[in-house]
Amino acid sequence: MNDEDLAQAQRRHWQNTYTAHPSMYGEAPSTAAVHAAGAFRSAGARDVLELGAGHGRDALYLAREGFTVQAADFSAAGLQQLRAAALRQQVAERVTTTVHDVRVPLPLEDASVDAVFAHMLLCMALSTEEIHAAVHEGRRVLRPGGIFLYTVRHTGDAHYNSGIARGDDIFEHGGFAVHFFDRSLVEQLADGWNLDEVHAFEEGELPRRLWRITQSRPR
C-alpha cells in the first residue's frame, strides 16, 4: 500500500467511523485541550485553529472558554456533528468549520490566527515529509508570538513496532494507522521555533503514551 492508498483508506475509515459512531469521543474535552485553553489565554490568544477537530469536543470546549475557533478536519461527517453541537451549546457564532486534508496547504492568510491546536492529528497516517509540511503551514498562519500546541503518540507506546508496519514509523492496528514520534522528529519540527515544552502523559485504556509539545513562533 503506497502513501496515497493509505491516506485514502484512512479518510474512509474516519468518515465511516464518525457516521457509525456519532460523538464517539464524548463531549468532555481532552486533557490536552484543557491545558491548551490555559496556555492560549496566558499568551493573549483569541483566535484558534484546530487541526483534526473530528466531531468537535475540543473545538467546542475552546469556544465555550471564549475563543473564536476555526475547526478543520477531513471528515465532513465529523464536522456536521460539530456544527449541530455548536448550535445546541449556543457557541455557533464562535465556531467555523472547514473540510480540509492536512496534506494540502491551509485556506488561510499568513499570520491570521493566534494559536494552533492539534490533538493526535500529526501522528495519523502521515509521512515525515507531510508532517513537516503541516507544521510549516501552522507556522505560516500563526501571528508572531503565536503558539502551536500538539500531541502525538511516541515510540514508547505499546503499539509501536507492532501491528502492520507501513514504513516511516507508521503501524496499523484495527484499520487505524499511527505515525509514532521519536524525540529527534520533535526537535526537527521545532527548528526555527521556540520549543517551550515537551510533556509526557498517558491517555486511554492501553494506555496510549503521548507527548504534548508546545512551541511558539518567534516575534
CATH, residue 67: 3.40.50.150
Q: Return the pLDDT at 219.
A: 92
Q: CA-to-CA distance for 84 and 72, rounded, in angstroms?
A: 15
* 70 has a pLDDT exceeding 70: yes
Burial call 26-39: b when 16+ CB within 10 Å, e when fewer: eeebbebbebbbeb
Number of domains, the chain: 1
List the grid coordinates of 75: 471528515
Q: What is the mean pLDDT of residues 157-183?
A: 95
Average pLDDT of the residues in 177-186: 97
Say what the pLDDT of residue 205 is: 85
DSSP letter for 206, please: T
Contact between 201 and 212 under an 8 Å Cβ cutoff? The reply is yes
Say how far apart CA 196 and CA 25 lie, in whole Å. 28
pLDDT for res 116: 98
- The DSSP string of 96-110 is EEEE--TTS--SS-T
pLDDT of residue 174: 85
Domain of residue 143: give its range: 3-216
Average pLDDT (165-184) is 94
Indicate the DSSP class of residue 109.
-
**Average pLDDT for 153-178:** 94
Least confident of 2-11, 48-57, 87-96: 2-11
Q: Helix 3-20 and helix 76-88: axis angle, to 10°? A: 40
Compute the average pLDDT of residues 122-132: 96
Question: In the 8-state DSSP scheme, what is residue 154?
Answer: B
Ramachandran area for residue 95 (φ above 0: left; ψ -120 to 50: alpha; else beta): beta
Give CA–CA dist 63/73, Å, rounded.
17
Mean pLDDT of 86-113: 97
For residue 15, what pLDDT is reported? 55
pLDDT digits (tens, 9 = 90+) for 9-40: 555 545 555 555 555 555 799 999 999 999 99
Rounded to two decimals, the pTM is 0.90
The per-type count for the chain, helices as H runs and strands as E runs, is 6, 10
Q: How confident is the model at residue 212 (pLDDT cuts 50, 70, 90)?
A: very high
